[in-house]
Amino acid sequence: MPLTALLVMASVTDKLADWVTGVVDDIGLLGIFVLMAPESACIPIPSEPTMLFAGFAASDGAYPWWAPALVATFANLVGSIVAYGAGYYGRIELLERQKFVHISPKHLEWADRFFQRHGDKAVFFSRMLPIVRTFISLPAGIARMPFGRFCLLTFLGALPWNLGLVLAGYAARDNWDQLRDYLHFIDYAVILAILAGGGYLLYRWRRNRSGRAAPDAV
């Protein structure tokens, strides 16, 4: 990767970490909710700096150690419900625009079968996986996983992840600056995943568009 790109990424991640910690520092538990809800609604705001700093703030007496984990988990649930609803009610739209988005009824049938067999494990364990947890609710909604089960597994899966990050931040205390340096690697992974996903979607869109144009030319 060119040096310029690395410098740009470093600048972006520095600003992102500063912004996230600033929000939590300024408005506390409400800030945690505001940051964590979009993270589960397909908006890739990394939870690591948010929750680690929340744990650090808890160690300084800002609030009880368990409070940020609980608030973040409820925020994850709210954001996940939004993404689930978008997938659930957008299923018909996908079928109507299947040529544009390159999704066929067979793809949806496969998703239905997958969530029938592995949906519980996928929703629960994905909450502890970076990047995956941001987007898992959308296909769960598209596959129309039972809503009550989806909410329960989302809550139970998100809680240990959030709690672990809070406790790590709580334990760091005076070593927060050193811990913060390691967050760059997480931020880089998120940015690269966004770029890769965007590049893939652009590739599929251009390929699908050229495929439709070829018959017209004939």
Cα torsion 10, 16, 19, 22: sign: negative
What was the pLDDT predicted at 46? Answer: 76
Is 99 contained in some domain? yes
What was the pLDDT predicted at 190? Answer: 59
Is 218 contained in some domain? no
Cα–Cα distance list, 99 to 23, 96, 214 (Å):
42, 8, 15
| Average pLDDT estimate for 134-160 | 90
Tally of domains within the chain: 1
Nearest 10 degrees: Cα torsion 183, 185, 189, 192? 110
Is 216 contained in some domain? no
Is 168 contained in some domain? yes
pLDDT at 57 over 80: yes
3-state secondary structure 139-188: HHHHCCCCHHHHHHHHHHHHHHHHHHHHHHHHHHHHHHHHHHHHHHHHHH
The overall average pLDDT reported for the chain is: 75
Closest CA to 87 of 110, 64, 108: 108
Closest CA to 55 of 137, 190, 171, 151: 171
Is 215 contained in some domain? no
Task: Identify the weakest region by mean pLDDT among 94-108, 160-174, 199-213.
Answer: 94-108
Is 195 contained in some domain? yes
Q: What is the pLDDT of residues 148-163, one digit of tens each?
A: 999 999 999 999 999 9
pLDDT at 58 over 70: yes
What was the pLDDT predicted at 11? Answer: 43
* CA 212 – CA 207 distance, rounded (Å): 9
| Average pLDDT estimate for 42-54 | 82
pLDDT at 68 over 90: yes
Is 214 contained in some domain? no
Give the relative orientation of helices 47-59 and 147-172 as an angle to the nearest 10 degrees. 50
Residues spanned by the domain of 70: 3-209
Model confidence, pTM = 0.71
- Helices then strands, counting H and E runs in the chain, come out as 9, 0
Is 217 contained in some domain? no
At 98, list the tokens: 């299947």
pLDDT at 194 over 90: no
Closest CA to 136 of 95, 88, 84: 84
> With b meaning 16 or more CB within 10 Å and e meaning fewer, what string describes 3-25?
eeeeeebeeebeebbeebbebbe
| Average pLDDT estimate for 189-194 | 63
- Residue 76: pLDDT band with limits 50, 70, 90: very high
* CA 101 – CA 53 distance, rounded (Å): 39
What was the pLDDT predicted at 78? Answer: 96
Phi, psi of 78 (to 5 degrees): -60, -50
